[in-house]
């Protein structure tokens, strides 16, 4: 079927933490083909706002035909989304991006802050031995939902939950090991994870966000510096939306 823009019906919305919301949408045409690590672009109802907001997929339920988006309110668009209620509609474009390249190697799934949601769908899809490391600033969310799928380790900046510090501190403290890292979170965290993976010689896939316009690879707004000349661009740039958002850490400059 491929990518499409559609009007999705809101099934439910709940608050998970301060400014963090969980939105379930009825979108069978997208749910039927989406995989972990992909995202959808969500449009506001305000006609003066032209660009959609890219939001990762926290859950994909093919049977129910639903998508779950867990996002943080950071501006006008996400504020509007947070006010959607069951029965409302919202336009979305998807599924977008490449998704994680899944293997059966022993895995460490790492999520930081609002980079945690896509790791939940990945935890469900990965059929292998795995651990989950979640990094928070203070308030925690989604952590309990990972528990059926893997051992969960946490870090928080204030030390209230898990190790005081960041996700690398948690990995070292708890002796978490694996042969492949899948990670999503803020750039400083990804930089630390890349360095850790290179030091340990572990395969590492990272997913990162950037402001996007088209979301489908046409406008070249969301590029990320690459180590080698990228095939599509013929320069040291890859499109996060279409070539990513998941890249092998060694391919990109952080």
Stretch that binds other proteins, among 20-28, 49-57, 65-73, 194-202 (CB under 8 A): 49-57
From first CA to last CA, the distance across the chain in angstroms is: 34
**What is the rounded CA–CA span in Å between residue 242 and residue 2?**
13
Kindly state the smallest distance separating residue 90's Cβ from other proteins, in Å: 14
Would you say the C-alpha torsion 72, 78, 79, 85 has a positive or negative sign?
Answer: negative
Q: Which of 7, 15, 32, 49 binds other proteins (CB under 8 A)?
A: 49
Given a contact cutoff of 8 angstroms between Cβ atoms, the answer to whether 40 and 69 are in contact is yes
Minimum CB distance to other proteins, residue 236 (Å): 6
Taking CB under 8 A as the binding criterion, the range among 81-89, 97-105, 170-178, 219-227 that sits at the site for other proteins is 219-227
At 40, give phi and psi (nearest 5°). -125, 155
Question: Is 117 within 8 Å of 145 (Cβ atoms)?
Answer: no
Two structure tokens written together for 149: 């799928």
Task: Please say which residue, 14 or 231, places its beta carbon nearer to other proteins.
Answer: 231
Candidates 24, 110, 122, 222; binder of other proteins (CB under 8 A) is: 222
User: How far apart are alpha carbons 129 and 246 in whole angstroms?
Assistant: 21
Structure token digits, residue 146: 């990972």
Q: Does 3 engage in binding with other proteins (CB under 8 A)?
A: yes
Mapping DSSP onto H, E and C, the string for 169-208 reads HHHHHHCCCCCEEEEECCHHHHHHHHHHHHHHCCEEEEEC
Between 173 and 210, whose beta carbon lies closer to other proteins? Answer: 210
19 binds other proteins (CB under 8 A): no
Which of 185, 215 has the CB closer to other proteins? 215
Q: Indicate which single residue of 65, 113, 186, 217 sits in contact with other proteins (rule: CB under 8 A).
A: 217
State which of positions 175-214 bind other proteins (CB under 8 A). 210-214
Is 89 or 237 the residue whose CB approaches other proteins more closely?
237
List contacts with other proteins (CB under 8 A).
2-5, 43, 48-52, 93, 210-224, 232-237, 242
């Amino acid at each position: 079927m491929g990518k499409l823009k559609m009007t999705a019906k809101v099934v439910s919305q709940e608050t998970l933490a301060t400014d963090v919301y969980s939105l379930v949408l009825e979108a069978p045409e997208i749910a039927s083909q989406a995989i972990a690590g992909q995202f959808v672009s969500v449009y506001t109802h305000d006609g003066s706002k032209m660009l959609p907001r890219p939001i990762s997929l926290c859950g994909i339920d093919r049977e129910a035909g639903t998508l779950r988006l867990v996002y943080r309110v950071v501006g006008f668009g996400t504020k509007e989304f947070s006010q959607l209620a069951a029965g409302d509609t919202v336009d979305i474009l998807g599924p977008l991006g490449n998704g994680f390249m899944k293997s059966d190697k022993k895995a460490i799934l790492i999520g930081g802050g609002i980079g945690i949601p896509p790791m939940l769908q990945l935890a469900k899809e990965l059929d292998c031995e795995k651990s989950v490391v979640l990094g928070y600033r203070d308030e925690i969310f989604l952590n309990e939902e990972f528990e059926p799928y893997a051992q969960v380790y946490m870090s928080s900046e204030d030390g209230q939950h898990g190790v005081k510090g960041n996700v690398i501190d948690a990995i070292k403290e708890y002796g978490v090991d694996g042969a492949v890292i899948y990670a999503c979170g803020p750039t400083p965290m990804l930089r630390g994870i890349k360095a850790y993976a290179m030091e340990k010689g572990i395969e590492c896939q990272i997913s990162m966000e950037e402001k996007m316009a088209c979301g489908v690879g046409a406008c070249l707004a969301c590029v990320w510096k690459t180590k080698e000349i990228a095939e599509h661009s013929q320069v040291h740039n890859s499109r996060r939306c279409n070539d990513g958002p998941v890249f092998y850490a060694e391919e990109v400059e952080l």
